[in-house]
Structure formats: structure tokens, C-alpha cells
Amino acid sequence: QDDSKVTVCDISPQLAGSSELVRTQRIVSAVLGQDVSFCCELTQPKDVLQVTWQKLTARKPENIATYNKRSGARIINSLSGRLGFLQTGLQKCSVAIKGVTKIDETCYSCLFNSFPEGAIAGKTCLSVYEIYEPRFEVRTLEADAGEILSLTCSATGAPAPEISWNIKEEEILENSEEYSVTNPNGTITVTRNATVDISRLSGTEILINCTVGHPGWENKMELSQLIRTGKNYHGEQLMYSSASLSCF
């Protein structure tokens, strides 16, 4: 048995056809700071002398790790503090990067150096997502017709997060608009605004939800504000709000 007993990542048959000599995940995605793994597996037995892992840069491929029976596993570049082998084998091999950064976002190649065929290559490309905690704010503003609620929901990430309102009485939302700003670090801040005329509320409370989606999340995030309205003993309009957060 040539392989270690460490658990390795799965390669979906849908992502790699059985006709290929090397199976890989093809595309791997992770949120900034997560750990990722790359797997390569020969679909036919070959006389492999060494497996070489490369990081494909704009200039030229950079060797980052090798494995052979004589020298064992070797990490040979600046990733040495974060790169390691999950499985060492000459027919199946996998590596992992701890705490991915945007610099790691590129394609990686595994080369099965065999005799007499030469190098048999497979490639996996890594996408690194960024997403930060969204914010939902409700403020009371004075308008000519009375008090209105100003709603602001924003989120920052790469790629751009998707924001939408989820409210039972959609007709009370007014002036809904969205804009985005690209930040110096490449992330995009998306902000969605709207207003609510308090006088149009049909009851004494209303639940307003801001739904945020991003490829880096398995589930969408929903930020909720429960708005309660009433009057004091002077007959003046009062408003209370309470916030909550959920995923679905």
C-alpha cells in the first residue's frame, strides 16, 4: 500500500470524466482564511517515478511540492508554512493549503512523471472568496408628510454580494435603490436603501428582512428588524425596533 491513511478529498465523477488519465476537482472555491485541498488520481495504473505539484503563475509554473519513494514528500517553496500533503502516493496524491489568501488564487497542476509516457498532468483552479458581516440599519427621519423609516442594508465581499428586501407588505417600500463601490482591496460594497412611510403601516408592527447571498456561503443570511409603532399618552407617534439574524 503506497498511500497514507490520512483522509483525502473526494473527486466527483461529474467533474472528471472516466476517459481522462488524471482525475481532479477542476475547480475549488474557498472563503478567505479557510483550508483547501487539491486531489489528483490516475484513472489507469502507470509506472510513476514522481508526483510534482506546481503553482501556475503568469510567468512560469512554480514547483511547490514533490513526492517519490526515494526522497519521500518535499515542500519546496514559500508555501512551506501552509502547504502539506494529505495523501502521498504515486497513483493518487493530494495536498492542502491552510488559511488561503488572495495570492493563492490561481491554478495548480499535478504532474505524474511516468515511464515511458513522461509527465501526465491534471489541473485544478482555486477561487478565493471574501465576504464580511453584513449590516442592516433602520433610522427614523422627519419628512414633509410625517415620519418615515430609512432602511439601509449593506455587505462587502468578492465577488459582489446580492442583497434583496423580504417584506410581507412590499407595497409600503418606497425609493428602493442599490449601488455598489469597488474598494482598493478589490472587494465590492453593495448597499441597498429604501424608505417606509410609517403612516401607511396597516398594523402596529412590521417585520422587515434584508436577505444577503454570496457564493462563499452555503446558505443565505437574513437580517431582520421588527418595527413596532404606537402612541404615548400625549398622542405622539413612537417607534421601537429589535434586530435578529438567521441563515437559510
Domain boundaries, the chain: 22-130, 133-247
Preceding omega of 45 cis (within 30 degrees of 0) = no
Check pLDDT > 70 for residue 1.
Answer: no
Would you say the CATH fold of 133-247 matches that of 22-130? yes
In this predicted model, what pLDDT tens digit does every residue of 185-232 receive, in sequence order? 999 999 999 988 777 765 667 788 999 999 988 899 999 988 776 554
* Choices 2.60.40.10, 3.40.50.740, 2.40.50.90, 3.40.50.170: CATH for 22-130: 2.60.40.10
Preceding omega of 116 cis (within 30 degrees of 0) = yes
- What pLDDT does residue 233 have? 46
Check pLDDT > 60 for residue 240.
Answer: no
Check pLDDT > 80 for residue 4.
Answer: no
DSSP secondary structure letter of residue 70:
T
> Going by DSSP bridges, is the β-strand pair 118-131/27-31 parallel, antiparallel, or unpaired?
parallel
Mean residue pLDDT of the chain comes to: 83
- What pLDDT does residue 244 have? 52
Q: Which amino acid is at 195?
A: T
Q: CATH for 133-247?
A: 2.60.40.10
- What pLDDT does residue 234 have? 41
Task: Determine whether 86 is exposed, middle or buried from the number of CB atoms within 10 Å of its CB (0-12, 13-18, 19+).
Answer: middle
d(CA 89, CA 93): 5
d(CA 134, CA 20): 42
Percent of all residues in the chain with a pLDDT value above 70, rounded to a whole number: 79
Task: Determine whether 188 is exposed, middle or buried from the number of CB atoms within 10 Å of its CB (0-12, 13-18, 19+).
Answer: middle
Strand partners, 190: 155, 180
> Going by DSSP bridges, is the β-strand pair 92-97/221-231 parallel, antiparallel, or unpaired?
unpaired
